[in-house]
Structure 1
């Protein structure tokens, strides 16, 4: 049961306030993930053709995957930058800043010249803007998670915190649904792509340019929010720190490492089921791919993401009832088993290639992976904030979440592309099983956080390195 101080932390939040907060956290993360995923989709199917020198297809794809991974290097930096202001100035103002940075960077990607127009300046500018995307998303997730958890009703933190998590599948559906509509409208065929295709000339830019409208809506909603009562009371008690980062590194290194490794498998399975499997499925047979048409595969992927979205609220309720740790231990074992099954689904001799590819088998594979993704992703926005005290919670949860992105996401599409090309799809599943094993160990040695009080701090944090004056 939640204790009295936990109830106190949310007693000033009315049901109508919570509905507004739910909408604000959901729409914000949806926009940010939409921006992030349109790049991921383009990095597989478009950028290798437009932003890198012509040559070997696998080399261009690997180069594009490398720029994709740059954002994951930027995300921990973004979590430090925005976490500093989130823990000193407040959750609301910081969330507005992260949304602006992400939105502007995404819009500018839609205006970039190609390699054929400006040479090496094209991939350089693309990499810089991708880095800015990573900075923005690095500050977004933890702020949205705190907005939900610090205003949740007693005993329902995981159920409340699952709303910003839904931004991931919703953003994915919007991004890839828009690409599906555009490729259908333009009649674009990825298996016979030509530089003169209208879609490659200008059609691909539309999702990036249109994202600015969503950003305006998100800003309007967030500017109307109030600060969370948990943070407001920490300010009243004079508990803001001069350097939240230094305090986290000094007082909570164990929590940082646990949070990072707990999250690794979640990142790994998602970017295998979205970015890598897309490149593998639509890749040319002679280059080691399955030769499935882009539009055919995207339809399967969009259908499977619905199960990702459905799994998140289920996981939130289960995590509130049985605990975060117990649920995630079971789901992580399932992820490891799933990893060892990759060759049964994805090997060319099992799946088939080109027009003979078994799309039904591919759909089963995608639905299995995405269902597990929803169950492991759902509780994370409650668990990671619960590891840290109020005055370092934005910084700590953000760093843990985004350090995991380097191990579980930045390297995963690149490593999986190389593994599949060198050793076959089964080796990619073993890679996932290894990530799952790391997460399982971290969960096993961690403690349950369901009943922790977010409105209290460690005694040391209340007396040391605290700045009692306003910033």
Structure 2
């Protein structure tokens, strides 16, 4: 693959770079990049939680609970189909108009779609229109999400000090565990307040009737905070220089596919295992743990399992800054190759951890064993996810960086995330839980190959044009 650009052609002087970074109010950059991804993952988690525990009851009609769950998981995957389109649309404006304005637009579309989901009538009220509207809003949610992450990653990485880019760029990554804690913490409070029992749900239960809507409706508060913060930030110095030097292109998507299509493929597969692990450890494991034994699940209480997830997510948050420091010290490739090998090994142990024979079911589930499994998986998630907001942007030149990193990130979402909860639920029903681990190991092997072929980008300057 192409090597790093030469030092003379790509880097600005140390003094000039430090002067540019000194003018950036770092606390404002951190908050602006963190708030958006926190809202992003909050939105996704509340949808994922509802898709597992509520939507099969309210938006899909049938006598087979396993099929209703699969249909609900299918709507969950719709957003991942929209995300690459969102990365193209928002990437276009992000590379031409600027990072700031584009981030505001992505936040608005993403947040309003989430709020409106909380207002939808159910299948029992308007029939098939209910899942149709749910799917449309899920698509709009994914459209906004497609432009959110890459913009936040560029905001953090393009304002970082030399040699500290992975550590600086890890801030938007912390939005994932923060969003999880906010979303699932709120669901935990609500299910406790309503005394909701997921093992024997009823359509007359107040939580099923209206309580589940509150997390979606309350997202409007976070949107307001996010808009206030983002409207007060400045454009990144890297993009400002590209504007000054007239380096922008008319069609970033055409440019990036014409000149950097190899890097898009590499970036997609570099992110593949991260996405697969993420949605196995958050969405699928919830459906497996609280699912009925008839559908191949463990039939453990939703409320109790949510507590275990909230504990394990602390490991996710703790290892993100660790990963940033390791990537800055040892380089992106060596660090991620080791972590990806550990993910592959972890996949081969799923049968040991999760098989009903060893884990137990219902109130007899081995809580300690499940908690250790979740903590190990979340620690690996923090290590692999943390550096990605530096790795993907570093692959592309300034004038197509928003588009290129966004397309790679969101293409990986289709391959590694859109199908994962659905595929894992199906694999459990037809092959057993061991097969889910083999699925993760396969994703990890593909990522390992991509990392092996990718260039090291630790010392690459972000002040680069396509020609350089």
Q: Which of the numbers 27, 31, 38 marks the counterpart of 1:19?
A: 27
**How far apart, CA to CA, are the structure 2 residues paired with 1:452 and 1:135?**
30
* Structure-1 residue corresponding to 2:364: 356
Tell me how far 1:339 sits from its aligned partner. 0.1
Paired residues of 2:24 and 2:159 also in contact (CA < 8 A): no
Paired residues of 1:324 and 1:448 also in contact (CA < 8 A): yes
Residue 75 (structure 2) pairs with residue 91 (structure 1) = no
Q: For residues 428-439 of structure 1, what are the structure 2 equivalents within 5 Å?
A: 428-439=436-447
**How far apart, CA to CA, are the structure 2 residues paired with 1:430 and 1:171?**
28
Tell me how far 1:207 sits from its aligned partner. 0.2
Identify if the C-alpha distance between structure 1 residues 221 and 2 changes in structure 2 by more than 3 Å, giving closer, same or farther.
Answer: farther
* Structure-1 residue corresponding to 2:3: none
* Structure-1 residue corresponding to 2:350: 342
TM (norm. structure 2) is 0.97
Paired residues of 2:247 and 2:465 also in contact (CA < 8 A): no
* Structure-2 residue corresponding to 1:225: 233
Q: Which of the numbers 39, 43, 65 marks the counterpart of 1:31?
A: 39
**How far apart, CA to CA, are the structure 2 residues paired with 1:6 and 1:397?**
25
* Structure-1 residue corresponding to 2:396: 388
**How far apart, CA to CA, are the structure 1 residues paired with 2:23 and 2:213?**
41
- Gapped regions of structure 1 (runs ≥ 5): 461-471
**How far apart, CA to CA, are the structure 1 residues paired with 2:353 and 2:344?**
15
Paired residues of 2:399 and 2:466 also in contact (CA < 8 A): no
Tell me how far 1:9 sits from its aligned partner. 4.0
Tell me how far 1:280 sits from its aligned partner. 0.4
**How far apart, CA to CA, are the structure 2 residues paired with 1:376 and 1:140?**
20
Tell me how far 1:15 sits from its aligned partner. 7.0
Identify if the C-alpha distance between structure 1 residues 226 and 75 changes in structure 2 by more than 3 Å, giving closer, same or farther.
Answer: same
Residue 195 (structure 2) pairs with residue 166 (structure 1) = no
Paired residues of 2:196 and 2:207 also in contact (CA < 8 A): yes
Q: For residues 381-420 of structure 1, what are the structure 2 equivalents within 5 Å?
A: 381-420=389-428
**How far apart, CA to CA, are the structure 1 residues paired with 2:18 and 2:276?**
34
* Structure-2 residue corresponding to 1:176: 184
* Structure-1 residue corresponding to 2:332: 324
Residue 222 (structure 2) pairs with residue 210 (structure 1) = no
Tell me how far 1:13 sits from its aligned partner. 2.8
* Structure-1 residue corresponding to 2:12: 5
**How far apart, CA to CA, are the structure 2 residues paired with 1:382 and 1:281?**
34
* Structure-1 residue corresponding to 2:155: 147
Tell me how far 1:19 sits from its aligned partner. 1.5
Tell me how far 1:10 sits from its aligned partner. 5.1
Runs of 4+ aligned residues of structure 1 deviating over 4 Å after TM superposition are 1-4
Residue 283 (structure 2) pairs with residue 275 (structure 1) = yes
Tell me how far 1:286 sits from its aligned partner. 2.0
- Gapped regions of structure 2 (runs ≥ 5): 1-5
Residue 239 (structure 2) pairs with residue 265 (structure 1) = no
* Structure-1 residue corresponding to 2:70: 62
Residue 134 (structure 2) pairs with residue 126 (structure 1) = yes
Q: Which of the numbers 109, 116, 122 marks the counterpart of 1:108?
A: 116
Paired residues of 1:69 and 1:410 also in contact (CA < 8 A): yes
**How far apart, CA to CA, are the structure 1 residues paired with 2:220 and 2:466?**
42
Tell me how far 1:6 sits from its aligned partner. 6.6
Residue 319 (structure 2) pairs with residue 311 (structure 1) = yes
**How far apart, CA to CA, are the structure 2 residues paired with 1:180 and 1:274?**
15
| 1:86-122 deviation line (CA, Å, top 9, x unaligned) | 0000000000000000110000000000000000000
Q: CA RMSD in A?
A: 1.2
